[in-house]
């Protein structure tokens, strides 16, 4: 059977997985790097390869409804392989392997159907005739060389996960090329070569691919190192309970200073505490809602509009420059409160979940718990299109800040928006690409297409918490990420954790400190900030219903 020949193990590249004897691979690879760099790089651009695959795309789509981007990925990963095949004979390392004669270069002209059929036949022959296996595997091995990293003495191979995509693309191509002739002409059916793995080439590819997959699942890095109950090392950086608390406080401070600046433009901006006292802390206000009729705005909980004695007021007309400044300040508040939610919500959110929070309209996310007087967030955890409902209850401090943001900052934002000509983009979260008009789902009420631009904008502003007026979209990740790059201020820049690092650290705390089954609903999760600080590990991340196993 096959044996695995360890060619060269440096870092964790893919070269150790060639399951054939490949003695000359290292020298050859060195030549690949150097010689390929002498060729016209343009030749193996993915645009070219995409061009090449154009006739294939139709069949791909028929076979398996491959998406447009998947085809792009194929082209991208496959182009070096097809290029090497194209110019193989010109290389110094070319082995004397039997291969079918092939006179068609795919890089010269677009292939007409007839020429394309010839090319497909060429690969079909490689696949069906076992004598060509050596040549094919040699090509695959050479395609593992990272030709972008050219040095004269060292060979750079692709990392394992990347080579997986290359092999995947090669598999897709060989399947297609081998079967295309029998679809286009009358020729014998060779499907069995694949299904029963009769072809040597196909066995080699699938076996190697399996080895790669095994490697990928087994070498998941231990990302988090333990350093006691309240600290750990994440990706080489120190992380602790205190780190999180500082991050939280720094963002809170940023929120405070931004609202302070807003007072230059608006009168009657109360403090966070007073707003909370007049609204949620007032127990005469009934916060309970009928779950079946939860369609109105969160703001309406306290009356038809924001109560007059709490609402800010515009004292004068502002200039366009001042409007810009206001928008900037609103965004600062938004970012800060997003981070406070991120830290205080009990269980780490993903960014898109926070980004799309709504305070009104269908699928509203904000509700208030009449007992604890805290805001709770009914969001959906949706990594793969299925929507699993998740309820997260905020601690009192975060809740009050979010209340302030919703009741004071959002109205200010919408007030400014009313005097601007800018409109919100239909593609609120930059996820639709070019075909925005084909999607209706992203509109604020699900029927956005029927709305005018102005109507749509109003709809968005009256439902989404985190709309960014400066670009007409929801607040972007790049902006959000700054909240972790700037803070905590006491930690040196290069020692700060990214969002991903934070997730790992927080999940570590959750697993370390909580037994979710034993946590009683409600009580523990809702604490004053002091308690929040002291009990970050034990309670705050053990909010009932939070999803522990996010990752």
Pick 162 or 533: Cβ nearer DNA: 162
Site stretch for DNA (CB under 7 A), options 213-221, 441-449, 525-533, 538-546: 213-221
Site for DNA (CB under 7 A): which residue of 39, 209, 307, 311? 209
Long-range contact set of residues 212-218: C-beta below 8 Å, sequence gap at least 24? 212/14, 212/17, 212/160, 212/163, 212/164, 212/167, 213/164, 215/12, 215/17, 215/160, 216/160, 216/161, 216/164
Rounded to an integer, what distance in angstroms lies between the CA atom of residue 458 and that of residue 473?
Answer: 13
Site for DNA (CB under 7 A): which residue of 304, 441, 478, 520? 478
The angle at the Cα of 243, spanning 239 to 247, to the nearest 5 degrees, equals 130
Site for DNA (CB under 7 A): which residue of 384, 434, 520, 530? 384
**223 is a contact residue toward DNA (CB under 7 A):** yes
Q: How far is the CB of 480 from DNA (least distance, A)?
A: 9
Long-range contact set of residues 538-542: C-beta below 8 Å, sequence gap at least 24? 538/513, 538/514, 539/514, 540/344, 540/346, 540/395, 541/346, 541/347, 541/506, 541/509, 541/510, 541/513, 541/514, 542/346, 542/510, 542/513, 542/514, 542/516
Q: Contacts with DNA: how many residues (CB under 7 A)?
A: 44
Strand ordering across the sheet containing 388-393: 366-369, 374-381, 388-393
Evaluate whether 96 touches 67 at the Cβ level (below 8 Å). no
Q: How far is the CB of 549 from DNA (least distance, A)?
A: 7
**386 is a contact residue toward DNA (CB under 7 A):** yes
Q: How far is the CB of 430 from DNA (least distance, A)?
A: 6
**500 is a contact residue toward DNA (CB under 7 A):** yes
Evaluate whether 330 touches 469 at the Cβ level (below 8 Å). yes
**161 is a contact residue toward DNA (CB under 7 A):** yes
The contact pattern for DNA, residues 349-368, with x = CB under 7 A and - = no contact, is -xxx----------------
The contact pattern for DNA, residues 17-46, with x = CB under 7 A and - = no contact, is ------------------------------
Evaluate whether 15 touches 203 at the Cβ level (below 8 Å). no
**210 is a contact residue toward DNA (CB under 7 A):** yes
Site for DNA (CB under 7 A): which residue of 90, 96, 221, 319? 221
The contact pattern for DNA, residues 422-441, with x = CB under 7 A and - = no contact, is --------xx----------
- Interhelix angle 25-38/68-87, rounded to 10 degrees, is 100
Residue 412 burial (C-beta neighbours within 10 Å; 0-12, 13-18, 19+):
buried
Site stretch for DNA (CB under 7 A), options 118-126, 264-272, 384-392, 509-517: 384-392
**415 is a contact residue toward DNA (CB under 7 A):** no
Which among 532, 443, 519, 24 is positioned nearest to 244, based on CA atoms? 532
The residue written with tokens 């200010």 in the block is 412
Pick 139 or 205: Cβ nearer DNA: 205
Pick 104 or 471: Cβ nearer DNA: 471
| Binding residues among 65-84 for DNA as defined by CB under 7 A | 66-67, 69-70
Site for DNA (CB under 7 A): which residue of 6, 62, 112, 216? 216
Output the DSSP codes for 113-142. Answer: HHHHHHHHHHHHHHHH-GGGHHHHHHHHHH
Q: How far is the CB of 12 from DNA (least distance, A)?
A: 9
Q: How far is the CB of 84 from DNA (least distance, A)?
A: 17
Site stretch for DNA (CB under 7 A), options 206-214, 256-264, 409-417, 512-520: 206-214
Residue 221 burial (C-beta neighbours within 10 Å; 0-12, 13-18, 19+):
exposed
Strand partners, 368: 375
Q: What SS3 state is found at 234?
A: strand
The contact pattern for DNA, residues 312-351, with x = CB under 7 A and - = no contact, is --------------------------------------xx
Q: How far is the CB of 45 from DNA (least distance, A)?
A: 9
**470 is a contact residue toward DNA (CB under 7 A):** yes
The H or E element spanning position 270 is none
DSSP E strands: which ranges in 436-502? 467-468, 473-474
Q: How far is the CB of 220 from DNA (least distance, A)?
A: 5
Cα-to-chain-centroid distance, residue 146: 25
Site stretch for DNA (CB under 7 A), options 87-95, 297-305, 357-365, 476-484: 476-484
Question: In 10 A of CB 159, how many CB atoms?
Answer: 13
Rounded to an integer, what distance in angstroms lies between the CA atom of residue 92 and that of residue 152?
Answer: 15
Q: How far is the CB of 43 from DNA (least distance, A)?
A: 16
The angle at the Cα of 215, spanning 15 to 28, to the nearest 5 degrees, equals 5
**512 is a contact residue toward DNA (CB under 7 A):** no
Which among 405, 348, 395, 349 is positioned nearest to 374, based on CA atoms? 395
Pick 185 or 217: Cβ nearer DNA: 217
Site for DNA (CB under 7 A): which residue of 38, 90, 220, 293? 220
**383 is a contact residue toward DNA (CB under 7 A):** yes
Q: How far is the CB of 161 from DNA (least distance, A)?
A: 4
Strand partners, 224: 234
Binding site for DNA (CB under 7 A): 64, 66-67, 69-70, 159, 161-162, 168, 171-172, 206, 209-210, 213-214, 216, 220-221, 223, 350-352, 382-386, 430-431, 470-471, 476-479, 481, 498-501, 503, 550-551
């Amino acid at each position: 059977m096959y044996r695995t020949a360890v060619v060269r193990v440096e870092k964790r590249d893919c070269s150790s997985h060639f399951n054939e004897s490949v003695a000359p691979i290292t020298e050859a690879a060195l030549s690949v790097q150097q010689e390929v760099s002498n060729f016209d790089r343009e030749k193996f651009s993915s645009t070219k390869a995409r061009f090449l695959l154009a006739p294939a795309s139709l069949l791909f789509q028929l076979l398996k409804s491959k998406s447009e981007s998947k085809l792009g990925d194929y082209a991208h990963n496959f182009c070096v392989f097809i290029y090497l095949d194209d110019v193989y004979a010109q290389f110094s390392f070319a082995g004397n392997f039997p291969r079918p004669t092939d006179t068609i270069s795919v890089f010269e002209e677009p292939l007409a159907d007839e020429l394309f059929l010839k090319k497909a036949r060429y690969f079909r022959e490689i696949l069906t005739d076992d004598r060509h296996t050596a040549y094919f595997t040699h090509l695959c091995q050479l395609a593992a060389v990272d030709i972008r990293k050219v040095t004269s003495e060292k060979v750079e191979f692709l990392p394992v996960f990347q080579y997986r995509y290359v092999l995947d693309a090669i598999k897709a191509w060989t399947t297609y090329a081998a079967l295309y002739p029998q679809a286009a002409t009358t020729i014998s059916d060779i499907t069995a070569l694949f299904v029963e793995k009769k072809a040597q080439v196909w066995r080699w590819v699938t076996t190697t691919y399996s080895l790669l997959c095994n490697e990928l699942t087994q070498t998941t890095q231990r990302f988090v190192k333990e350093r006691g109950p309240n600290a750990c090392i994440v990706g080489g950086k120190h992380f602790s309970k205190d780190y999180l608390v500082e991050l939280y406080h720094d963002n809170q401070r940023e929120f405070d200073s931004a609202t302070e600046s807003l007072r230059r433009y608006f009168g009657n901006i109360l403090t966070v505490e007073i707003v909370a006292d007049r609204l949620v802390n007032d127990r005469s206000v009934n916060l309970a809602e009928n779950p079946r009729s939860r369609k109105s705005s969160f703001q309406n909980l306290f009356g038809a509009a924001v109560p007059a004695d709490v609402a800010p007021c515009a004292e004068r007309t502002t200039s366009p420059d001042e409007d810009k400044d206001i928008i900037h300040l609103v965004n600062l508040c938004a970012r800060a409160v997003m981070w406070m939610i991120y830290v205080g919500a009990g269980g780490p959110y993903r960014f898109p979940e926070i980004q799309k929070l709504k305070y009104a309209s269908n699928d509203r996310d904000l509700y208030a718990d009449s007992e604890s007087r805290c805001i709770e967030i009914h969001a959906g955890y949706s990594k793969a299109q299925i929507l699993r409902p998740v309820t997260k209850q905020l601690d009192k401090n975060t809740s009050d800040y979010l209340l302030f943001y919703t009741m004071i900052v959002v109205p200010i934002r919408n007030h400014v928006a009313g005097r601007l000509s800018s409109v919100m983009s239909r593609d609120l979260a930059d996820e639709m690409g070019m075909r925005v008009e084909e999607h209706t789902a992203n509109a604020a009420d699900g029927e956005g297409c029927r709305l005018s631009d102005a109507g749509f904008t109003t709809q968005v502003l009256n439902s989404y918490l985190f709309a960014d007026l400066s670009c007409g979209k929801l607040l972007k990740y790049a902006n959000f990420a700054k909240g972790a790059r700037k803070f905590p201020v006491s930690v040196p820049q290069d020692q700060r954790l990214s969002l991903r690092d934070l997730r790992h650290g927080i999940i570590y705390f959750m697993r370390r400190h909580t037994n979710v089954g034993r946590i009683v609903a409600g009580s523990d999760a809702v604490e004053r900030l002091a308690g929040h600080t002291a009990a970050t590990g034990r309670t705050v991340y053990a909010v009932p219903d939070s999803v522990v196993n996010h990752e």
